[in-house]
Chain A
Amino acid sequence: MTLTRRRLLGSGAALAAAATVAQTIVGEAEPAMAACAIVPQASPLIVAMHRLSNGPSPSDVAAFNALGSTDDERYERWVEQQLNPSTIDDSACESRIASTQLKIRYDSVNEVRPLQLLYASDEQLWARANSGMDMAYAERMRPYDEVRVATWIRAVYSRRQLFEVLVDFWHNHFNVKASSDQNIAATWPFYDQIIRAHALGNFRTFTRAVGRSVAMMYYLDNVSNRAAGGEGGNENYARELFELHTLGSDHYLKFYNDRGQIETITVGGQVYPVGYIDDDIYEASRCLTGWTIANGRDGRPNTGAFYYKADWHDTYPKTVLAPRVMAGVAPAPNIPARQPDMKDGEDVFSLVCYHPGTARHVCTKLVRRLIADDPPQRVVDAAVEVWLANREAPDQLKQVIRTILLAPECRATFGAKMRRPLDVLWAYLRATGAELPSDVEQVGGDTSRGGYWASLFYTADQTGHRLFGWDTPTGHPDVASYWANTNGMLTRWNCIYNLTQSWGGNVQIDLIGQTNLGASCAAIVDAWTARLCGYALQPSVRSALIAFLAQGGDTNAPPQPLRGAPDWGAAEALHDRVRAMVHLLAMTPEYSLR
C-alpha cells in the first residue's frame, strides 16, 4: 500500500485493506471494550436476544436455552437455526397475520378487512397504482398499510427474529419512502417480498432486483431515464446506486473525469480503479437508459412489470469503473456501442456489485448493525474476505452474515449500540406478552374510532423512527449519536404508555396478571428485570425501582396501597403503581442499549 493510494482514497486505507484481506487470519478476539458502568455484561444469550433479535420473549429465551449445554454451543446453534429461517416453524405468527383486521374508511366506506394484499399478484397491486382507475387514496395506500401491520406483527411475534432484523437492515440499505408515490405504496408488498427473498441471498441478484422494482424505479426516477439528444438522462438512481447501495461515498473520488489519474488495485487477479468519479455516474445512468416500468405510457404495456424500452436506450460506447491503462493514460470505453438489449445495464450491476469497495462498504454497514457503532476492523476484514470469495454464490450474504455473527467480537460485545425507538417498543412488547391490536368498524357507534393500527403508527412515527417512512435514500441512521436526542428520548419513554391507550394503539398488555402481587417489592422488580432485560441493572437503578414500588413501605414485603394521596387506600392504585414501575424499567438507560 502506497501513501499515494492512501491519499487518493481520502477515506483512509479502505480499498487497500480490501486488497489484502486474503492475508487476514481469523484469530483471537481483541480484548472486550472497556465497559461503561451503565453497560451490562455481554453474554451470548443477551446478544442473541437484545441485538440479533428484537428483544427477549420468554418463549424465545427458553428455546435458546434448550439448544445446548454451553453458552457458545447454544449461541452457535441458534445462529445456524436463525440463518435458515424457513426451517423455523412460524405458523403461529402467520396465523396472527391472517386473523388481524385492518380498518379502511373513506367517503361512505367504513370496513375492517383482513390483510388481503400481502401476497397479491403484481398485476393486482399495479391495478391499484394505475392513475387511470377511479380509486380512493386510502385504497391505493392500502397495500403499504398492510405491509406495515405485517411487519409489526412479525417484529413482535415471529420466531425468525434474526431474519426480521436483517429485513429491516436491507429495507434501510435500499431505502424507499413508501408513501412518497402512489405507485410505490400500491406495490409495496412486492418490494417487501424482494427484500425478504434476497436478505440472505446474493448481493448482485438483490441489487438488480431492487433496481428493477416499481418502488426503486419511481423513488429514484429511473422510470423516466432515457437518452435524449444533447440533454442528459436522469442520473438520480445511478448516483445512489454507487453512493449508497454499492461502493459508498468513501470510494467517491469526486473529480469529474480524467480517469488516467485514478490508481488501481488488484484483487483476486482482477484490476479495479480504487474508486468512482462523477463521470462513472453519468455513464452508468446512460447504461440504464430505457430500464423502466410497463406503465402504459409511450407505447408500453400497462402491467407494472419491469420493461426495457429499447428506443430510449443510449447505444453509444460508455466507460464505467474501467481501470486506467497506466498512470496518466485513460482507458478506452469498457462498454461498447450497440450491445444486446439490457447488456449495458447488466454490465453496470456486475461492475458495481463485484467491486471490492462495495464489499467493504456493505460489510462495514452490516458489522455496524450487528455488533457496534464503531465496527471492529477485524470482523469487517473477515466479512469482506467471505463476500469477495462468494460474490457469485446464491447464499453469499448468508455466509457473510454467519462470519460476522460467529466472530468472537459479536458475542462478547454489548451496549456498544443504542436501540432505535422501534427497537425499544418491539422489545417491550415482546417481553411483556403484549397483544397487538385488531381494528373494529366502530366503537360505541362512533365510526371514526376503532382504527387502532393507524393510531399505533401515528404514535410510533412521533419518535422519528418511521417504518418505511425515512425521506432520503440513506435509510435511518444506525448510530447512537443520531438517536440520543431529546425528542427521541421523550417519545421512546412516552410510547411505552401511549401505545396501550385506545387513542395511541390499543395494545393490550396484562402486566398485573403476570405479576405476583404477594411477592416482595424487591422480588417483583427482579422478576420484571429478568423478563425485560435478563441482565442485572445498575444497583442504583434497581433500588430506585424497588423504592418506587414500596412507596415508603417495607421493600422486603409486598407493596401496599397508601392511605393518603395518591392511592387513598384503593386496591386499583397498587395496580397503577406496578404498571408504572414496569414502564420505568423500560425507561432506564440500560433498556436503550443493545
Chain B
Amino acid sequence: MGCSAAIAAMAAGKVGQLIFADEAGAAGSDEILVVVFLRGGCDGLSLLSPFDDTVYRQARGSIALPLSGANAPLLIDPRNASYSTSSFGLNGKMPHLKELYDGGRLALVHACGLDDDTRSHFDAMDYIERGTPGNKATGSGWITRHLQTATLGAGLLPVVAAGTEAPASLLNYNGAVAMSNPRNFGLSTHWRYNRKEEDYKMMQVLEGFYPGTGRNLVDVAGRRTIDTIKAIRAANPGTYTPRAGVTYPGGSFGDALKTVAQVVKMEQGLHIATVDLGGWDTHESQANSDGSGYLPDRLGVLSQGLHALVNDLVDYLGRLTIVVMSEFGRRLGRNASNGTDHGHGNVMMVLGGNVNGGRVYGNWPGLQDLDQGQDLRITTDFRVVLGEIIYRRLANANLGAIFPGLTAAGFTPLGLVNGADPGPINWSAALRDVAPGQAGDLPNKLYLPLMTQC
C-alpha cells in the first residue's frame, strides 16, 4: 500500500473512535485469550518431566529431578498411550498446576514448539510471535492478524499488554494498549490546568496534537494513549482486590496477572491479553540435586500465578482460555555449569473453562532419537495449538492469514478445547481487503507505514 493510500485508509479507519466502537459481537467475540510467554527458553523437561527415563537421568546427571523427597515430580496420568515410555510428573514446585490438571482445567502438550532449527532466543521469538517460522521480517504479529480478521465485540479495552510494552505478537496492531496498572493510567500534571471542572484543559490540547489520522507511528500511539486515558477515567478502576482466598505471587509477574484480572473485571470488552515472564535462560546453576533451586522456584512462581488467575477469574472461566509458551526447550544434557543450553521441543500449557484438561496431548518422541542428536524432537507445531484455540474458542476461521504457510495438511486439531467449528477454514493468506468506508470495513485493519516510508 502506498503512502497516500495508507493515510487515506487510516483516516477512514476511525482509529480515534475505535475503543468506543459499538459493533455487533459474533460467536467467539466475547472470549478472553491470555497469552503468557516465558522468555529465555523454559526447560520443559523440568516442567513436565520424564523423570524416571534412564536416558533423561543419565543426561541430566546431578540436575535430574529427584525420584523421591520433598521436591520429587508430582506424578500425573497423561492419558495418552505415547507417553508410556516413562513416568511423567509436573515439577515438585507446581502443586497448584497439578490441582488444575487433576480438575480438568489444564491440558499439556509436550514435544511441542517451533519446527525450525534455530537455537537463537531472538530469532525463535521473532518467528513464533510473528507466526511465520523462518521469517522474522513479517510486518505483523499472529495476534495482530487474528484481530485484523476477527469480528471484534464492543468494548473500550479489547487488547491489553500487561507491562511496559506490547510483544511482537501484537506488532503493528495500533489498538494494543500496554499498561502496567490500570489505576495509574492517567496524565500526571499540575492540578490547575487539568481539572475535571474545566474538562481537562491540558488533555484537550494534547488531543489536538494527536489526531490519530495515521500520519506516523507517534501520532497513532499518542491518540491511542489519549483514548485509553479517557476510557479508564470513565471506568474509574480502584485499587485492585483479588477474589477472597486468591494470592498472586509477588513481583512483576503477579502484578501483570492482577492487571489482566482487573481489566477483565472492569468489563470493558477485553479480548486478548499478553503477559511476559522472563528468567528462563538457565545456562548455569539450574537446580540442586535435591530438586530445589532457581528453576524449580521460578516454575513455582509460574504455577502459583496461573492458579491465582484461574481462581480469581472463576466467574469468567467459561470464556477464558490461557495459553503458556516459550521460544524453545532446553538441551537434554546438562552442561558443565550445572545448567542447560538452548534446545528444541518444549511444553505448551492450555488452561480454561472450555479446555479438555487432565490430559497430555501430542506424541511423545522419546529421548533415544533426538533432534540434532541432542534435543527433544518436536511432534506438534505450536501453530496447531494456537490455531485450534483461535478456530474453536475465538471463532476465527482465517487461519491462512494468521499463520501464512500453515496448510490444511499441517493442521490437525488435538482436541484441546471445546467449541463448534465456525465454518470451513479459510487457508488464504490474504488479509481481508475491503475499501475504506465499504461494508465490512473495520477499524484497526491496517499495517501502519513506518515513518520513513510515510
Contact = CB atoms under 8 A, between A and B. Distances in A.
B265 interface: no
Contacts of B210: 589
Contacts of A491: 164
Contacts, number: 214
A501 to B, nearest CB: 9
B178 interface: yes
Given A484-B220, A584-B205, A252 B185 contact: no
Contacts of B189: 497, 580, 583
A566 B336 contact: no
Contact of A588 (B165, B209, B372, B454): B209
Interface string A30-43: 00011011110000
A252 B178 contact: no
Interface in A35-91: 36-39
Interface in B79-117: 116-117
A281 B166 CA distance: 31
A551 B219 CA distance: 25
B198 A566 contact: yes
A583 B194 CA distance: 12
Contact of B197 (A220, A497, A566, A593): A566
B119 A278 contact: yes
B450 interface: yes
B306 to A, nearest CB: 21
Interface in B169-212: 171-172, 176-180, 185, 187-190, 192-195, 197-198, 201-202, 205-206, 208-210
Contacts of A471: 39, 278
A235 B343 CA distance: 12
A415 B451 contact: yes
A374 B450 contact: yes
A252 B209 contact: no
Interface in A516-544: 540-541, 544
Interface in A471-487: 471-472, 474, 480-482, 484-487
Contact of B225 (A34, A231, A486): A486
A488 B221 contact: yes
A224 B336 contact: yes
B452 interface: yes
Interface stretch (B120-128, B405-413, B420-428, B438-446): B120-128
A481 B179 contact: no
B341 A480 contact: no
Interface string B149-180: 00000000000010111100001100011111
Nearest to A493: B187
Nearest to B3: A34
A589 B208 CA distance: 11
A256 interface: yes
B132 interface: no
A140 interface: no
Interface stretch (A145-153, A198-206, A396-404, A571-579): A571-579
B307 interface: no
A373 B452 contact: yes
A415 B202 CA distance: 25
A463 B178 CA distance: 11
B119 A484 contact: no
Interface string A232-243: 111110010001
Nearest to A465: B164
B414 interface: no
A482 B335 contact: no
B391 to A, nearest CB: 29
Nearest to A256: B372
Contacts of B452: 33, 372-374, 416
Interface string B318-347: 000000000000010111110101100000
Contact of A545 (B194, B205, B281): B205
A579 B189 CA distance: 10
A494 interface: yes
B118 A486 contact: no
Interface string A247-260: 00100101110000
A31 B269 CA distance: 46
Contact of B120 (A233, A249, A573): A249
Interface string A360-381: 0000000000001110000000
Given A33-B452, A577-B192, A579-B190, A481 B172 contact: yes
A418 B217 contact: yes
A529 to B, nearest CB: 14
B218 A480 contact: yes
Nearest to A466: B164
B284 A234 contact: yes
Contacts of A255: 117
B333 A232 contact: yes
Contacts of B61: 231
Contact of B164 (A418, A464, A587, A589): A464
Q: Which 5 A-B pairs have the closest CB atoms?
A: A464-B164, A228-B336, A484-B221, A484-B217, A487-B178
Interface of B: 3, 39-40, 61, 116-123, 161, 163-166, 171-172, 176-180, 185, 187-190, 192-195, 197-198, 201-202, 205-206, 208-210, 215-222, 224-225, 228-229, 278, 281, 283-284, 331, 333-337, 339, 341-342, 372, 450-454
Given A224-B336, A254-B117, A544-B205, 17 more contacts: A39-B451, A225-B337, A231-B335, A233-B336, A234-B284, A249-B122, A374-B453, A471-B39, A481-B450, A484-B221, A487-B179, A489-B218, A489-B221, A545-B205, A565-B197, A576-B193, A589-B210
18 contacts: A36-B216, A231-B334, A231-B336, A233-B335, A249-B120, A252-B123, A281-B119, A373-B452, A415-B451, A463-B164, A481-B171, A488-B221, A489-B224, A544-B209, A565-B195, A566-B192, A589-B218, A592-B218
